[in-house]
């Protein structure tokens, strides 16, 4: 399994950034579950089944929000 983040959806394609090196991987938008949004963390199986990980996504978003808050408070 590969871990990835949905980076963007453009021209009918969902573009994922695969960990650890941020390699792009594309799939037709129609094959994507409608609950998966940009910024979501997913795993991609050997058969290209995409599974969303809401808890990991929330944790990542919280870490980013905390970092942004620290940067704002420094100024």
Q: Cα(72)–Cα(74) distance, rounded to whole angstroms?
A: 6
Write out pLDDT tens, residues 5-18.
999 999 999 999 99
Q: How many CB atoms lie within 10 A of CB 37?
A: 11
Nearest to 6 by CA among 31, 30, 25: 25
Nearest to 15 by CA among 37, 44, 7: 7
Q: Cα(51)–Cα(33) distance, rounded to whole angstroms?
A: 9
State pTM to two decimals.
Answer: 0.81
Domains and CATH numbers, the chain: 2-74 (2.40.50)
The residue to which tokens 């950034």 are assigned: 17
* pLDDT tops 80 at residue 75: no
Write out pLDDT tens, residues 47-62.
989 999 989 989 989 9
């Amino acid at each position: 399994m590969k871990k990835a983040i949905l980076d963007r959806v453009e021209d009918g394609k969902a573009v994922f950034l695969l960990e650890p090196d941020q390699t792009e991987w594309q799939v037709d938008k129609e094959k994507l579950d409608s609950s998966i949004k940009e910024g979501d963390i997913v795993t991609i199986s050997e058969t290209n089944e995409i599974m969303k990980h809401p808890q990991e996504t929330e944790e990542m978003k919280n870490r980013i929000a905390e970092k942004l808050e620290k940067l704002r408070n420094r100024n």
